[in-house]
């Protein structure tokens, strides 16, 4: 699952299709919100690789994983949120601008296993089978999960 950038639906469109345009967009931010776990750490490293972490330091808001959207949704300026692309793409009021590019990206890998002591073994096994099905892969890919 990749990390991407989003902003309020009411915000102007931004082109982040190249590293240079991505960098320009970030430097134009009034506020840049990302979490304090894996996806946020990936984004923080991207800012360092772009050599703009210090320039953006005063604009950065780090939050708990589920707190990344409120500051942007309640903001009034040129505010951006960074996080996992499916979460950005499915949050009401937020639009996904796109993924981090090239070596800035770090994919988060999730695993699913059936717990040994589960009382719902068949349901768990069926859910894992579904996650590996073509239908689930298509739905996940449509929402930024590769």
What's the pLDDT tens digit per position in 18-60? 999 999 999 999 999 999 988 889 999 999 999 999 999 999 9
Read off the pLDDT of each residue in 67-87 and give the average, rounded to a whole number.
92
Q: Return the pLDDT at 140.
A: 73
Cβ(84)–Cβ(143) below 8 Å: no
Q: Look at residues 146, 20, 16 and name the one whose alpha carbon lies nearest to residue 84.
A: 146
Q: Return the pLDDT at 51.
A: 96
Q: Return the pLDDT at 145.
A: 63
Q: Where are the domains of the chain?
A: 3-104, 111-146
Using CA atoms, how far apart are residues 27 and 70, in angstroms rounded to an integer?
A: 21
**What angle do helix axes 134-142 and 121-131 make, rounded to 10 degrees?**
60
Residue 62 has pLDDT above 90, yes or no: yes
Domain boundaries 3-104, corresponding CATH code: 3.40.190.10
Q: What is the pTM of this model?
A: 0.76
The pLDDT-based confidence of 146 (bands split at 50, 70, 90) is low
- The rounded radius of gyration (Å) of the Cα atoms in the chain is 17
- CA distances for 15 relative to 91, 113, 125, 132, 134, angstroms: 20, 39, 42, 33, 31
Average pLDDT of the chain to the nearest whole number: 89
């Amino acid at each position: 699952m990749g990390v991407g950038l989003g902003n309020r639906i009411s915000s102007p469109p931004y082109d982040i299709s190249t590293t240079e345009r991505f960098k320009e967009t970030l430097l134009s931010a009034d506020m840049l919100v990302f979490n304090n776990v894996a996806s946020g750490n990936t984004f923080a490293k991207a800012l360092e690789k772009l050599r703009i972490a210090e320039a953006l330091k005063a604009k950065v808001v780090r939050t708990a994983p589920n707190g990344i959207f409120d500051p942007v949704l309640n903001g009034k300026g040129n505010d951006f949120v960074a996080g996992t692309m499916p979460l950005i793409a499915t949050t009401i009021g937020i639009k996904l601008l796109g993924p981090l590019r090239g070596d800035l990206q770090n994919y988060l890998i999730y695993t699913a296993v059936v717990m040994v002591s589960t009382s719902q073994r068949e349901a768990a096994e069926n859910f894992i089978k579904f996650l590996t099905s073509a239908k689930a892969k298509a739905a996940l890919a449509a929402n930024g999960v590769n």
